[in-house]
Amino acid sequence: MTASTVRHFLRDDDITAAEQREILELALAFRQDRHLHRPFAGPQAVAVIFDKPSTRTRVSFSTGIAELGGYPLVIDSATSQLGRGEPVADTARVLESMVSAIVWRTFGQELIEEMAAHSGKPVVNALTDSFHPCQILADLAAVADARGGVDALAGLTLTYVGDGANNMAHSYLLGGALAGMHVRVGAPAAYQPDPRIVLDATRIAAEQGGSVTVTTDHADAVAGADIIATDTWVSMGDEEQYQERAGVFGAFQVDARTLELAAPGAQVLHCLPAYRGKEITAEVIDGPQSIVWLEAEYRLHAQKALLTWLATR
Ligand code: CP
Ligand code: NVA
């Protein structure tokens, strides 16, 4: 396979709405039967590279690749030549000759795009500064499972509040729009989503019967929402901004009042790790409307579905 024909998953809209649906259906099926497909039997190796810390992504890809019959080759980039400055393109050329897919958690989106441009094997974004598309597949699959199936997604209002400029906000915009949802982002003025991504999401939402709303008003964002999502106010790589961010996001906390404004029975998502008392209260994340543990479990099923789908193109 050549680098020009292989499919990659670098951002949520690298797949069509129909393809997203196919992957989500497969994710729900994998939850019922962990050994449904074994596309990496052999075993074939899959490289899983981390430039940033991880618990869920590391464990879910490792476990998932093993359950798909493959061998997960987990690499901390600090202990690899990539971490010493070996060009991404050279790394891609070497890896593609040995592994069946490359999964990478890194910083700039341009880095993973460069990896993909030089890899004849699928490259999967395991989080960049701009997107976390595997997480959104898991989130959508968890919501679908909790609501009786993938058909339940279209038409739901999904509100994300907090840091509107981070990877989760951008992926909710694109991934939620692709699922035909009404996606709302509530964030302080200085932390609004990238306007180019808002534009892309708005176009996709219009095609899929959904909509996109971006606001600086927490109450407007959450009013009547079916799903409330949030994320840390200080993402990996933003740690030096901790003090300046600390005072900005308080009005966007997901608390009991937020749930009163949302639709009755609204469900709560958080990709984790969570900071109780910051972006979400303990009462909410540990309460009956939270589906965060199902969401975390779906990292495994959704990524197995994605890898199976990519491996069988
Ligand atoms: N949600 C998520 O990606 O978690 P990790 O950083 O632990 O992988
Ligand atoms: N926005 C967070 C997500 C962590 C899974 C970060 O990038 O640190």
Residue 130 in contact with ligand 1 by CB distance below 6 A: no
For the four alpha carbons of 273, 278, 280 and 285, in that order, the dihedral sign comes to: positive
Instruction: Enumerate the active-site residues.
Output: 105, 132, 135, 231, 271, 299
Give mean pLDDT, residues 73-80. 96
Minimal CA–CA distance to 188: which of 166, 203, 173, 206? 166
| Ligand 2 centroid, distance to 60 Cα (angstroms) | 16
CA–CA separation, 247 vs 260, rounded Å? 24
What kind and span of H or E run contains 56?
A: helix 56-67
What kind and span of H or E run contains 74?
A: strand 71-76
Question: Where does the pLDDT of residue 267 fall: very low under 50, low under 70, confident under 90, or very high at 90 and above?
Answer: very high
Q: How far apart are the first and last CA of the chain?
A: 11
By the 8 A CB rule, do 103 and 124 touch? yes
**Residue with CA nearest ligand 1 atom 6:** 54
- Residues constituting the chain: 313
Question: Where does the pLDDT of residue 5 fall: very low under 50, low under 70, confident under 90, or very high at 90 and above?
Answer: confident
Written as one letter, the residue type at 110 is E
**Residue with CA nearest ligand 1 atom 4:** 56
ipTM associated with this complex: 0.99
Minimal CA–CA distance to 132: which of 303, 305, 311? 303
Q: Which atom of ligand 2 is found nearest the CA of 129?
A: 7
The mean of the pLDDT values for the chain is 97
Q: What's the CA dihedral at 1, 20, 235, 95 to 10 degrees?
A: -10
Question: Does the predicted TM-score (pTM) go above 0.90?
Answer: yes
The DSSP 8-state label assigned to residue 194 in this structure reads P
Question: Where does the pLDDT of residue 4 fall: very low under 50, low under 70, confident under 90, or very high at 90 and above?
Answer: low
φ/ψ of 45, rounded to 5, equals: -90, 145
CA–CA separation, 236 vs 106, rounded Å? 10
By the 8 A CB rule, do 105 and 77 touch? no
Given a cut of 70, whether residue 251 has pLDDT beyond it is yes
Give mean pLDDT, residues 115-139. 98
**Residue with CA nearest ligand 2 atom 2:** 235
Relative to beta strand 157-161, strand 182-186 is parallel
The residue whose two tokens read 């069509």 is 16
Residue 127 in contact with ligand 1 by CB distance below 6 A: yes
Residue 128 in contact with ligand 2 by CB distance below 6 A: no
Chain centroid to CA 40: 23
Instruction: Quickly list DSSP for 94-116.
Output: HHHTT-SEEEEE-S-HHHHHHHH
Q: What is the pLDDT of residue 1?
A: 45
Nearest ligand, CA 233: 2
Binding residues for L-ornithine: 167, 231, 235-236
Minimal CA–CA distance to 9: which of 126, 170, 163? 126
Nearest ligand, CA 58: 1
Q: Is 29 exposed, middle or buried (0-12, 13-18, 19+ CB in 10 A)?
A: middle
pLDDT in tens, 192-246: 999 999 999 999 999 999 999 999 999 999 999 999 999 999 999 999 999 999 8
Q: Which atom of ligand 2 is found nearest the CA of 271?
A: 5
CA–CA separation, 174 vs 95, rounded Å? 29
Given a cut of 70, whether residue 119 has pLDDT beyond it is yes
CA–CA separation, 140 vs 145, rounded Å? 9
Q: Which atom of ligand 2 is found nearest the CA of 54?
A: 5
Q: What is the pLDDT of residue 246?
A: 83
Q: What is the pLDDT of residue 3?
A: 46
Given a cut of 80, whether residue 260 has pLDDT beyond it is yes
CA–CA separation, 151 vs 234, rounded Å? 34
Residue 54 in contact with ligand 1 by CB distance below 6 A: yes
Question: Where does the pLDDT of residue 18 fall: very low under 50, low under 70, confident under 90, or very high at 90 and above?
Answer: very high
Given a cut of 90, whether residue 282 has pLDDT beyond it is yes
| Ligand 2 centroid, distance to 232 Cα (angstroms) | 7
The residue whose two tokens read 């998953």 is 9
Residue 274 in contact with ligand 2 by CB distance below 6 A: no
